[in-house]
Amino acid sequence: MGSSMFETGDQDYGSMVGWDPHKERLNKLIAEAKKNNPRVFSPVPDMLFVRPANGVQEIAGKWEPMQQLFGPLWLREEVAVLYSSPGVGKSSLAVQIGESLARGISIAPFDKPRPGCEVPPQRVLYIDFELTLQQFTRRYSTESDDGLRVENLYEFSPNFFRGELVWNGRIDDGYEDFTDMLFTDLDRKLTEHEATVLICDNITFLSTSSTANASIAFRLMSRLQELKKYRFISILAVAHTPKRLEHRPLTERDLQGSIDLAKVADSMFALGRSCIAPDLRYIKQIKSRSGQMEFGSENVLVYHLGKFDLSADLSETNAASRNFFGYSFVGLENELIHLPAPFRPLPVKQRPKVDRRVAYAKMLAEQGMSSAAIGKKLGIGKTTAYRYVMRGGKNARSTIEA
């Protein structure tokens, strides 16, 4: 009598309790339905947060003025793009912007920000895909007399962190590709160093595919926008321009992958090489979603690129050490002054003999600038500047703008 009612002879039927002979068939039907029409089985998306427009304006009206990271060209919690042709000096500008943010001291002419637009010292993560450690060190130091050693290393702010790529070439399991791995590590490094500003030099190295491809460029910028939004950080992406005609003004079309990058970027500014002197550069504002367009083609920012004593400029030391390769502000001018004239072959007898630098120096002198100031602007000596001014020739402005 002790045997179960489900036992008959040597056969045990106890495991059949709760068995549904139709369950297996039902699961197959459900799986097939999910495969054919997965949306029916997914939750209804809830992705938009909607409120009355008046309520949005009321909240926004209580916000403080937009804080400026590099004047109106790059505002806080924006994804900005800085671009130029190779070799013009965009990496040097990116480093100088990062160092100024780390110290909380703006680059001229933005060193006296408008009330409410000031930015306190930021923790800056600069990802350097361009220079080796040795190349970076040489830019921010002086050389010994024999040129074999570096001396007088520039002391960066403790808030400035430099990262470089170390990768074994393998895609780890669970990651889509190189970009997926890199952004995951980038997110971790931002947390580790508590960075509020990210500078990526340059965006080309965020993917193993070419950023000239529209979909690749759009994907990278979208990832940067996602990073900005959920971390509330500010991002500067450095980018290249493809081969361009130097006599034409800089536009958004000069940016590699331009259309798709421009769509996603909050602000854009370009760096150009001046034809006036080898060490002159100019910065042109290209796009701004929330700031003012103050530095367009008629009002570009002109800088001298070279080694100078940044520490002295920051009033931190009296030691004279030209160990920082960067930008010194010169003034505001029309972009056309700094563009070379289009190449038009002419017979030898008809070729103009007027040096554009001479004409430029004469024009500055006509505006009341001293020979010393002209020399500093052109990167030449005071005496040379004086000779340029005194040299005969056509009207300066008409020669430059010809």
Give the residue-averaged pLDDT of 1-28: 60
pLDDT at 21: 66
pLDDT at 194: 96
CB 220 within 8 A of CB 76: no
pLDDT at 11: 55
Phi then psi for 224, rounded to 5 degrees?
A: -65, -40
Cα–Cα dist 236/78, whole Å: 8
* Least trusted range by pLDDT, from 53-67, 84-98, 198-212: 53-67
Cα–Cα dist 203/217, whole Å: 9
pLDDT in tens, 266-313: 999 999 999 998 999 999 999 998 877 899 999 999 999 999 988 776
pLDDT at 78: 95
pLDDT at 380: 81
Phi then psi for 163, rounded to 5 degrees?
A: -120, 150
Binned at pLDDT 50, 70 and 90, residue 392 comes out as: low
pLDDT in tens, 311-364: 776 655 445 688 999 999 999 999 999 998 775 555 555 544 556 778 788 888
- pLDDT higher at 328 or 384: 328
pLDDT at 341: 76
Q: Which helix (H) or strand (E) holds 260?
A: helix 258-264
pTM: 0.76
393 pLDDT higher than 50: no
pLDDT at 80: 95
Structural domains in the chain plus CATH codes:
64-338 (3.40.50.300), 348-400 (1.10.10)
Give the residue-averaged pLDDT of 364-393: 79
Q: Which helix (H) or strand (E) holds 386?
A: helix 382-390
Give the residue-averaged pLDDT of 161-173: 90
Q: What is the DSSP letter of 205?
A: G
143 pLDDT higher than 90: no
pLDDT at 65: 66
138 pLDDT higher than 90: yes
Give the residue-averaged pLDDT of 370-396: 75
